[in-house]
Amino acid sequence: MALDGYKHIAERPVDPIGLPANSGNTYYNTANNYDCAIAGLPFFLGISKDHPYKRETAQYRKQQIDQQKEPGEQTLTGWWLRSQSSFHYGAGIRYEEPIEGETVGYRFNKSAGVDVFNLGRVTLLPDVTQNTGVTVSSGVTPIMVGGTDPNGVDLYLTATGSTLQLTTTSGTSTLTWGGSTTILALAQDGANYYVLAAAGIYKGPLTGATNGTLVFATPAFVNSGTATNGVLGWVKQRLIAGINNALFQVDSIVTYNVATTYVDGAFNGHISTTAPHNFGVGSEVTLSGVGTPYNGTFSVTSVPSQTQFTVFINNAAVSTNASATGTVALTSNNNLPIYAHPNTSWKWTAVCEGPNNIYVSGYAGSYSSIFRLALDTTTGTIPLLTRALEAAIMPTGEQINCMGAYLGKFIVIGTNKGIRIGTIDTSGFVSNGYITYGPLIVITNGYDPASATVLSGYACRSLTFNDRYAYVTISNYIDNGDGTYSSGLIKIDLSRDFGTLQMGWATHLRVPSTAEAVAVCVMGQTNKLVIGVKGVGIYQQSNTLVANGYLQTGQIRYFTLEDKHFELLKLRETLPMQGKLKLSSVLAGGAVTDIITVDQSFDFTQDVSGLDQAADLQPQESIALKFTLYSASGQQVGNEDSFNGYQLKALPAVHRERIYTIPLLNFDFEGDKYNMTTGYEGRAMERLTALETVESNGDVIVLQDFTNNEKIRGVIESISFSRETPPERRFTGFGGIITIQFRTVV
């Protein structure tokens, strides 16, 4: 056994004695003072002019290829860009991620007081003014219907309790509608209005020239002749009434001239009229002036065509009378119901029409569905209603409150959970007339992905259409951007779909209240909307712009969770500009910081800085942008300022990785700074092999530098070994310098 000058073992024993202590990936100096350790393997540094110790920043920016449809969004070098030049696909997204679909680049998170549906333009919406001529007492739910009378006067009717009022551009007047109890429903056919009350249905002219009269008495089998709830709809040239749990087609009492008569051997009296009649199977009709045996009151048993009907006449066969005279008319319009729901607590809520069917919605408890009233179009000028079938069933607990059809294709459904869009099957097969609906596009109750919160708001109560848009009432839902909320309308663009039965939408007109918005209509051909608020009043669209409104984008994170420095932003605005525009940044947690407010004098070609003020100059994973528009005093509709978009510039805030180039001594025998020798024959080869094994595994290891007390984690990028000693007679002489490239990881 050979010893060195310090009585250390200089030759390798049979068993390794006194090897450097290590634990896992770390090393603890014991007898010898090594300079560093890699993955628990200790080494002395071999630094020289030819083998320097180096630290340098690793490349952090990957090569990129621009494959976006909009050039410049995926920058190859320099700034990371994100821009939007239009917002016409509406609200409802949480993150601005182009990979979510090509329409995401035209959507945003939320807004209030702005119109986004004009391509490339965001403008302020009209304000509303209260119609002081209509009083809505506390707890009263107003009912409204809009239209134009036969003289071309635009109007809307408002029912509040037992009062019916007519509003035109000339003002508001009270109508005498024929009853004195609470009005339950309204409808109009372009010439007349219809009012549903406890006793039945009243009819009067839209002009208000004469008083209304009772035209349909609530049948005795419906709650002993007293209606307590219901809905009216003028569809496909007829009035459909849902009264309590029963559905009726309300026909006017019209007298028709009899053309021919004939009773066959089975006592069927075949009658024809000179003009199309409005009788249906089950109608009670009274014939007079025709002669024996036809005069009297009979029940219609069949309707072969709209100029023919059959009744049962208990008399001998009578030959055809081709020159019959006399008249026939409904005895009363208390026809048998088209359909009576078996659940007596069922409530009908809406009526609309499709290409081949009439649709009526309703609910009882947690069950809600849409029925279709099928039309027999094989005979007559006005098709007959033949049966009621369920066309769609809602999820349990979701109740339909309002419904409307658009272009014979789409059905908009407002429920206690939000808004859905459905389509009508017009294939002509067995499924003809059935409805397929999509997911909730606006959520008022339940988890809302756009805000990442659980909402428990009001139901959607009413809707109307104008052009390609649907307008649905929404209550205490519109975020004004200042910590307050408003009731008002949701606007849906039925020509913009971004998914299966998912249409572009955004908030629309606001009312200065959080009370429940329960009614909406369009005032004739003016395109002006009117909103009814429960217990508060009626609000009409005005010609003056709102004082301010805003649009907030989704969180922008460039589809990576790495932090970024959001530095610069360029605003796009159509000049000249009358009002002002404010830019704010919104952090992921919701903190809002105002950056700058600009007006006509601002240079819109320059970049705005300071977006990171909200984060105290700290990098962020994501940021949203909020643009607030302010109108000039008295600024009018048609003279709006136009915000056209933005371009955001950011840089990645990636924690820089570093490359360490470290020269290591690797000989069989080595000495530390205290001249303490360690080693044995073959040690250099063993350590090189061990180090190469660590490199091959590719795992994260620990680099310990005892010269500066540094301990870092990383991976071995490469190992280079230069042999610098020749073999000797006694020893192999294998040894040299190992150069390691070590990359830190974060």
Is residue 81 within 8 Å of residue 649, measured between CB atoms? yes
Apex 437 CA angle, 247 and 188, nearest 5: 40
- Give the DSSP letter string of 321-349: ETT---EEEES-S-PPPSEE-SSTT-EEE
The torsion defined by the Cα of 591, 595, 600 and 604, in degrees rounded to 10, comes to -110
612 DSSP 8-state letter? G
- Say what the pTM is: 0.80
Query: Hey, what domains does the chain have and what are their CATH numbers?
Result: 1-49+665-716 (no CATH), 80-107+548-652 (2.60.310), 128-249+337-545 (2.130.10.10), 256-330 (2.40.30.20)
Q: Which tens digits make up the pLDDT trace of 359-392? A: 999 999 999 999 998 766 544 444 556 567 899 9
| 420, containing H or E segment | strand 418-424
> Distances in Å between the alpha carbon of 477 and those of 13, 452, 472, 506, 519?
82, 15, 12, 12, 16
Whole-number pLDDT of residue 243? 97
> Distances in Å between the alpha carbon of 466 and those of 121, 491, 601?
20, 10, 38
Distance from C-alpha of 101 to C-alpha of 744, rounded to nearest angstrom:
37
% residues pLDDT > 70 (the chain): 89
Which residues partner with 245 through β-bridges? Answer: none
Question: How sure is the predictor about 4, in pLDDT bands with cuts at 50, 70 and 90?
Answer: very low
- Give the 3-state secondary structure of residue 686: helix
Would you call the peptide bond into 383 cis, given omega within 30 degrees of 0 as the criterion?
A: no
Question: How sure is the predictor about 582, in pLDDT bands with cuts at 50, 70 and 90?
Answer: very high
Distance from C-alpha of 384 to C-alpha of 232, rounded to nearest angstrom:
18
Question: How sure is the predictor about 20, in pLDDT bands with cuts at 50, 70 and 90?
Answer: very low
Is residue 159 within 8 Å of residue 176, measured between CB atoms? no
Is residue 626 within 8 Å of residue 587, measured between CB atoms? no
Q: Which tens digits make up the pLDDT trace of 640-684? A: 999 999 999 988 877 788 999 999 999 988 888 778 888 888 899
- Give the DSSP letter string of 354-391: -SSEEEEEEEETTEEEEEEEEEE-SSSSSPEEEEEEEE
Is residue 403 within 8 Å of residue 414, measured between CB atoms? yes
- Give the 3-state secondary structure of residue 166: strand
Task: Say if residue 18's pLDDT is above 50.
Answer: no
Whole-number pLDDT of residue 385? 62
| Amino acid in the structure at residue 173 | S
Whole-number pLDDT of residue 666? 92
**More reliable by pLDDT, 307 or 729:** 307
Is residue 467 within 8 Å of residue 508, measured between CB atoms? no
Mean pLDDT, range 168-175, rounded to an integer: 96
Phi, psi of 506 (to 5 degrees): -160, 160
Question: How sure is the predictor about 10, in pLDDT bands with cuts at 50, 70 and 90?
Answer: very low
Phi, psi of 326 (to 5 degrees): 110, 180
Task: Say if residue 75's pLDDT is above 50.
Answer: no
Q: Which tens digits make up the pLDDT trace of 490-525? A: 999 999 988 889 999 999 999 999 999 999 999 999
Distance from C-alpha of 645 to C-alpha of 82, rounded to nearest angstrom:
11
> Distances in Å between the alpha carbon of 473 and those of 207, 395, 413, 456?
28, 21, 12, 16
> Distances in Å between the alpha carbon of 1 and those of 7, 453, 678?
11, 77, 14
Whole-number pLDDT of residue 335? 67
| Tokens at 176, concatenated | 């005498």
40 DSSP 8-state letter? T
CA atoms within 13 A on the CB side of 325: 1
| Amino acid in the structure at residue 588 | A
| Tokens at 435, concatenated | 């409805």
Is residue 36 within 8 Å of residue 43, measured between CB atoms? yes
615 DSSP 8-state letter? G
User: CB neighbours (10 Å) of residue 573?
Assistant: 21
| Tokens at 121, concatenated | 């333009």
- Which residue, among 115, 116, 90, 120, has the nearest Cα to 103 in the 3D structure? 90
In the block, residue with structure tokens 């080494």: 43
Whole-number pLDDT of residue 99? 62
Whole-number pLDDT of residue 11? 47
SS (H, E, C) 623-651: EEEEEEEECCCCCECCCCCEEEEEEEEEE
The β-bridge relationship of strands 580-587 and 121-124 is unpaired
What is the Cα 125 distance to its own chain's centre? 20
- Which residue, among 360, 339, 363, has the nearest Cα to 350 in the 3D structure? 360
- The answer for residues whose C-beta is within 8 angstroms of residue 253's C-beta and 6 or more apart is 215, 329, 330, 332, 333
Distance from C-alpha of 465 to C-alpha of 410, rounded to nearest angstrom:
12
Mean pLDDT lowest for which of 614-618, 633-637, 708-712? 614-618
- Report the chain's C-alpha Rg in angstroms: 41
Whole-number pLDDT of residue 424? 92
Question: How sure is the predictor about 207, in pLDDT bands with cuts at 50, 70 and 90?
Answer: very high
Whole-number pLDDT of residue 71? 40
> Distances in Å between the alpha carbon of 66 and those of 75, 86, 96, 631, 650?
7, 21, 18, 39, 17
> Distances in Å between the alpha carbon of 609 and those of 590, 602, 613?
20, 14, 9
Listed as own residue / partner, the contacts of 61-66 with beta carbons closer than 8 Å and 24 or more positions apart are 61/652
Apex 99 CA angle, 96 and 103, nearest 5: 65
Phi, psi of 696 (to 5 degrees): -65, -35
Q: Give me the chain's average pLDDT, please.
A: 88
- Which residue, among 431, 356, 441, 362, has the nearest Cα to 403 in the 3D structure? 362
How many residues are recorded in the chain? Answer: 746
Task: Say if residue 69's pLDDT is above 50.
Answer: no
Which residues partner with 624 through β-bridges? Answer: 586
Mean pLDDT, range 724-740, rounded to an integer: 75
- Give the DSSP letter string of 95-114: B--GGG-TTGGGB-SEEESE
| Tokens at 225, concatenated | 């002749």
Distance from C-alpha of 212 to C-alpha of 233, rounded to nearest angstrom:
18
CA atoms within 13 A on the CB side of 284: 9
In the block, residue with structure tokens 């073999």: 727
Residue 113's region, left for phi above 0, alpha for psi from -120 to 50, else beta, is left
DSSP E strand boundaries for 578-698: 580-587, 592-598, 623-630, 642-652, 658-667, 669-671, 677-679
- Which residue, among 271, 276, 281, has the nearest Cα to 313 in the 3D structure? 271
| 687, containing H or E segment | helix 683-697
Residue 638's region, left for phi above 0, alpha for psi from -120 to 50, else beta, is left
